[in-house]
Structure 1
Amino acid sequence: MSRSTTSRNDEEESLFAPVMDFRKLMAMIITFYWFIMTVFIVPAACVSTCTLMLPIMIFSMKYFNKFEHILCTMVNEHWVASGQYTGLTVEEYGDDITTVADKRALFLANHLGLVDHYCLMTAFQNKPSVAGKYMWVIFNIWKSTPLGVMWSAHGNFFINGGASKRAGVLQQFRDHLINNFWKFDYGWVVMYPEGSRLFLIKNSEKQFAEKNGIEPFKHCAHPRIGAAHSVLSVCGPSEKSSTKARVGNNPPMEYIIDCTLGYPNGKVPGLGEAMLGEWHYSNVAIHYSIHKVKPEWSNEEVLKEWMYKQYEKKDKLLEDYYRTGKFPGQPRQITYSIFRNVLVQLFWITLFYAHYSIWIRPFGLYLSSFIY
């Protein structure tokens, strides 16, 4: 390459440098907006509204649940909107989960990164009633954050790891389901059975496989059975009657949805990378397989054997996906309009401002009068 060509390239890079710096600055500003909205504004507005709605429970649980589900749907919409900002697009393969959207189901997904949440919420947003009536099982690192307070208000369950606490935590989860699943009219229970993101548990997956004399998976991990078994032991169909749950006289959980998330070329972005616009392969694929719940799955060993087989299939699905760039079958594109995105942001900003103006600020001033 000649000196003149090198000089010309350097000049072009220097000319574009201010433009790139401006783009990075704008990306940081917009990312800061999404951070404030997601971590503070939306949780504050949501929890405040839920608190004010509590008296409705005295008169009608039906109407309380209806309003709370609408509010939860709007929270889901905000996450979808922020996912859209990152450039996220989702293609669905396999069974059509719209057919069981209004049924009670256990949703099991492999866990690759924090962006998984955005992918699933994007997939849920066009399924009637799913987003408003789901219950998430979440690792308790988030419990003490504003997001955790909001998720607790909705009734999500926070689970703690560790073999020493396993029995106690699972009993708490079963009690949570007994006391809340039907009372607050939940539909789907959503969880990541592997326990954590794949890159964090690859070594433990190898150790687990060696200990049990089985082959380790490459693209997912053997699922932990405890939480899924707890759901089916409480909400699954009774052996005596397929129309009743194992606990109480309530209608049972009817389906298990096995969800396989795949990122192009296996490159899972970090949350910061995605929000700053540095995510170049943002077309995520999701494959679903719907299974009718069987009463015998209330037996933990039987359920474990079945789930291990499903995750063996999942590992092969991901192997083929990373090789070909697609799952079997025809893709179904999830769409989300920018206009709806804007409306959702206006909804949450307006709701927060209303709470702030009507009672948060006056209450704060009242308290400060006793301090100063």
Structure 2
Amino acid sequence: MSRSTTSRNDEEESLLAPVMDFRKLMAMIITFYWFIMTVFIVPAACVSTCILVCPIMIFSMKYFNLIEHTLCNMVNEHWVASGQYTGLTVEDMKYFNLIEHTLCNMVNEHWVASGQYTGLTVEEYGDDITTVADKRALFLANHLGLVDHYCLMTAFQNKPSVAGKYMWVIFNIWKSTPLGIMWGAHGNFFINGGASKRAGVLQQFRDHLINNYWKFDYGWVVMYPEGSRLFLIKNSEKQFAEKNGIEPFKHCAHPRIGAAHSVLSVCGPSEKSLTKARVGGNNPPMEYIIDCTLGYPNGNVPGLGEAMLGEWHYSNVAIHYSIHKVKPEWSNEEVLKEWMYKQYEKKDKLLEDYYRTGKFPGQPRQISYSIFRNVLVQIFWITLFYAHYSIWIRPFGLYLSSFIY
């Protein structure tokens, strides 16, 4: 290469440097915005609204569930863009549930909006889960990274009623954070690991389902059966396979059965009547299991920081679904374990083919999310937070401070 060519390239790089520095600065500013919104503003607005609407439970759980599910869906959309009154029946709780579900729906939209900012695009393959969006289902996904949450919430946002009425099973490391307080207000269940605590935690989960699943009109129960992100459990997967004399999976891990079995042992169909749940009298049963396989191009799973700062070169994520009708015999833990191991064996093969070819079997379906909706969701949360702050949070804080100073 000639000296003049080298000099010209150096000049071009020096001219581009300020542009790249500006883009980096803008990415950091926008990332800070999403962080503040997701960790503080949205949880504060969400929990404050729940506090104010809790009295509705006394009059109607139906309307409470409707409102709460809608708001939860809006939280889900933000993520794409970035409690109990035991003497009441589900019918009595309708007004409370209306508000709570509405709030949950708006939370979902916030997450979808933040995902859109990172450049995330989602393609769906396999069965169309829209057909069971308004059904009761157990949603099982492989876990590769923290960005998985954004991918799933993006996929949920255009499925009627899913985002507002889902219940997540979440590792309890998040429980004491602002996000954890918000998730707890919605009714998500926090689970902790460890063989010594397994029996007690699973019993708590079953009690949680019995007391809340039908009363608060939840639809899908969402969980990652592997227990953690794949890169964190690869060694334990090898040890588990060696201990049990089976081949370890390469692209996923053998699922832990306890939480899924707890759901089906409570919410699954009874052997006596497929229209009634195993527990809860005449409550409708969980009808479907949705096996979800997440795949990132070339197996490159981005860190959350990389994605938010725009350092994510392969942001087109693929999701494959397989829908299965729940069978009463899956309430038997051994039968369920055998079935789930077979599903994860298929999942491992699906991921191997995906990493080799760049696609799952079948025709892809692109998930879209409008920029107008993104902006609308941000305005909603900022306005809601400001209203709470102005109307009662700030006056209440000043009132309390008058006793201190």
Q: Deviations over 1:308-351 (max 9, x none)?
A: 00000000000000000000001000000000000000000000
Aligned-pair distance for 1:12? 1.3
| Cα distance in 2, alignment partners of residues 204 and 225 from structure 1 | 16
| Cα distance in 2, alignment partners of residues 322 and 363 from structure 1 | 55
2:17 matched to which residue of 1? 17
Q: Deviations over 1:135-179 (max 9, x none)?
A: 000000000000000000000000000000000000000000000
| Cα distance in 1, alignment partners of residues 392 and 210 from structure 2 | 35
1:55 aligns with 2:87: no
| Cα distance in 1, alignment partners of residues 315 and 275 from structure 2 | 42
2:392 matched to which residue of 1? 359
Aligned-pair distance for 1:3? 2.0
Aligned-pair distance for 1:209? 0.4
Runs of 4+ off more than 2 Å: none
Aligned-pair distance for 1:9? 1.3
Aligned-pair distance for 1:236? 0.3
Q: What does 1:1-372 correspond to in 2, within 5 Å?
A: 1-69=1-69, 71-247=103-279, 248-372=281-405
| Cα distance in 2, alignment partners of residues 351 and 246 from structure 1 | 40
Q: For CA contacts below 8 A with separation 6 or more, give which structure has more relative contact order.
A: 1
| Cα distance in 2, alignment partners of residues 75 and 313 from structure 1 | 33
Greater displacement, 198-207 / 4-13: 4-13
Other structure's SS at 2:314 match: coil
Greater displacement, 76-85 / 248-257: 248-257
Aligned-pair distance for 1:5? 1.6
| Cα distance in 2, alignment partners of residues 184 and 134 from structure 1 | 10
Other structure's SS at 2:105 match: helix
Aligned-pair distance for 1:367? 1.1
| Cα distance in 2, alignment partners of residues 9 and 122 from structure 1 | 41
Other structure's SS at 2:106 match: helix
Aligned-pair distance for 1:214? 0.3
Structure 2: where are the runs of 5+ without partners?
Answer: 70-102
Aligned-pair distance for 1:180? 0.1
Superposition TM-score, scaled by structure 2 size: 0.91
Other structure's SS at 2:395 match: helix
Q: Deviations over 1:77-101 (max 9, x none)?
A: 0000000000000000000000000
| Cα distance in 2, alignment partners of residues 282 and 121 from structure 1 | 15
Aligned-pair distance for 1:15? 1.2
| Cα distance in 2, alignment partners of residues 208 and 154 from structure 1 | 34
Other structure's SS at 1:195 match: coil
Q: Percent identity?
A: 96
Q: Deviations over 1:211-239 (max 9, x none)?
A: 00000000000000000000000000001
| Cα distance in 1, alignment partners of residues 125 and 303 from structure 2 | 24
Other structure's SS at 2:298 match: helix
| Cα distance in 2, alignment partners of residues 41 and 353 from structure 1 | 9
Aligned-pair distance for 1:116? 0.2
Aligned-pair distance for 1:32? 0.1
Q: Deviations over 1:177-220 (max 9, x none)?
A: 00000000000000000000000000000000000000000000
| Cα distance in 2, alignment partners of residues 188 and 14 from structure 1 | 53
Aligned-pair distance for 1:371? 1.2
Equivalent pairs counted in the alignment come to 371
| Cα distance in 2, alignment partners of residues 14 and 91 from structure 1 | 38
Q: Deviations over 1:10-36 (max 9, x none)?
A: 111111111111110000000000000
Aligned-pair distance for 1:368? 1.2
Other structure's SS at 1:6 match: helix
| Cα distance in 2, alignment partners of residues 253 and 72 from structure 1 | 21
| Cα distance in 1, alignment partners of residues 361 and 111 from structure 2 | 28
Greater displacement, 161-170 / 10-19: 10-19
Other structure's SS at 2:107 match: helix
Other structure's SS at 1:353 match: helix
RMSD: 0.5
Structure 1: where are the runs of 5+ without partners?
Answer: none
Aligned-pair distance for 1:2? 1.9
| Cα distance in 1, alignment partners of residues 13 and 241 from structure 2 | 51
Aligned-pair distance for 1:126? 0.3
| Cα distance in 1, alignment partners of residues 33 and 341 from structure 2 | 42
Q: Deviations over 1:30-70 (max 9, x none)?
A: 0000000000000000000001000100000001111111x
Greater displacement, 2-11 / 232-241: 2-11
Aligned-pair distance for 1:287? 0.3
Q: Deviations over 1:241-286 (max 9, x none)?
A: 1011000321100000000000011000000000000111000000
| Cα distance in 1, alignment partners of residues 233 and 6 from structure 2 | 47
Other structure's SS at 1:305 match: helix
Other structure's SS at 2:361 match: coil
Aligned-pair distance for 1:6? 1.5
Aligned-pair distance for 1:7? 1.7
Aligned-pair distance for 1:4? 1.9
